[in-house]
Structure 1
């Protein structure tokens, strides 16, 4: 099958051809005809399967066939709700690429940035809006956004919105849109809460599922390193010096961990930048662009970067800390091995992370091969480190002799 077989508009096909796409992926083959026919869709697809194009192309096709001649009177006809700013920016880029030869306008709105430029864009009139839930509701409350003309609502990465506590916002957004609309819900996993959300918001939906839920891409080779927690940084440096080449994303669980590792790698003269929740949106975008443009070849991130960021030619993903949510592991390693290319995923596991490892392997339905040839092996009998709070050597309520001596009594 080619994109021409999907009966898309010639101007959209021209833009698709310029992106060097020839054959639609399974999710695109299944979803595009349904969206063109106005049917509600539940799409179960992991990241890296070409999901954005699966909804972007038919949405653009449908809106383009009924565009207003007057640009000033453009109404928002399609709304895509995204959990993170990075993903919103990525989706906006895709929509703009595919609509190059049309007069359709796409913009995105998200928190962490000044509202004024976003309001300015909306005032000019847009056809497709991509938004994070908080900023969308904020703009609607200020009467800057009119959702009365929405024909298609897309909820992307619904399970991540659930994890981030956005489900009530999503329901509110759906209520603000017209009742007669087409709704598309995409999710990498289908927990019961997402199933019930789909039942509540969609009308007689068709379910499209590609590849096993939460399975890692076949093109990613996975390696597991059992290592004591204090030796993880040494192991990371050892591998960077001797084995790892190319563009690398390293995932850590906390912002503090990200900053600590960055300091160490910079001291060792590696070209590195970071992305985490405490950074402003401008700083996060700058870091990502430096990585994409090869100004730095190592990006250290928390899970805020695990989904929706499409970095072409990402060679290696390192799980420096194993995630406590097993699905996050799949999303992290899904950054590499995209579009049929080979990728490598390394995981460092200390004694206290063994329960996380068990959950991840259970989700994958297989064991990750253990790499034993490294200088910092974990003793199989090692127990998780327990940090006990040091108590005072003095009895409670008793002052030390030194404290008593220092005290000047008034009597």
Structure 2
């Protein structure tokens, strides 16, 4: 037999082996459907971002404190000017108020009052020389009010000389707006998702490396495998805390180096429960999400002995995590809906959604119930992960994890190793 056919047969044998090992697995279906998942997650995230934007825009206002005799002309001018803008670029809705004894204090009160906390810009004074106050994100709306004052006074479109000269003043808002709460909720959801996926995912590669180097077998011969599992989980969590503390310290100082305009914009972002309590709740929900995902990753990592198996096992976990992130992000724009309540109750999405809940609502009692509920599922995940870890370590190659192996009695080989 010539050498070439033998090489061809060997090549085809290897090709068939790799093809079967890759295709004839349940997770290959997830790979085939990954574009569908990506599009679906993009739609969910897009709907979440749109719901946040629409919810914020529906409550934002530009306020004009003008005499009642000029309000009809200003409303008509507002209708004319809005026709120029597209639907996406529409300014905030116009609210008219009659001037009181002190229009300047009245204008500042629109930013300090909770009732008018969504005012992005406020105009007061004589329309020929008005003053426009605006918050960190209201400069465009302030310019719109200046143009509105000009359009209100202008009766002859052909007149070239300007009739109004506005003074724009940026002020710091004393009360975070509802849109600031929603933005803080979105940041909290993204922060927990990014940190857990980035930090907990490292456990899979470490686990596979130690298993291929026979380090796990050496540890298993000296101490119980449950102690190895818990030790790794606690060590991972400790390094995650160091990572979070380092970057939290850097981010907390970012306001001091930004220009005043951008610093004022950041100042409008605030959680409903207050800063100190929000930081504590964010840390608690991050801990719950990390321990839950870390236990899953450790249990999955113990089943993989090759990089290919590692990728196959990590893909479903990552898909589920991205799905939970998309659901929680979509819930930030509608905190009172039934869908949001379900997302807050579902164990895998609960840490993300409840962090957003802390940013949107000031009540504290739901967080005590949520943390107890999540702690129960963390215990369940750690228990299942520890048993999957034991089964994966005690076999020479990777294998499937079944319900009997996870919840059944320990075999004699388990007792001999532990």
TM-score range, shorter chain: under 0.3
Structure with greater Cα Rg:
2
Instruction: Give the TM-score, by structure 1 length.
Output: 0.22
Instruction: Give the TM-score, by structure 2 length.
Output: 0.22
Bigger strand fraction:
1
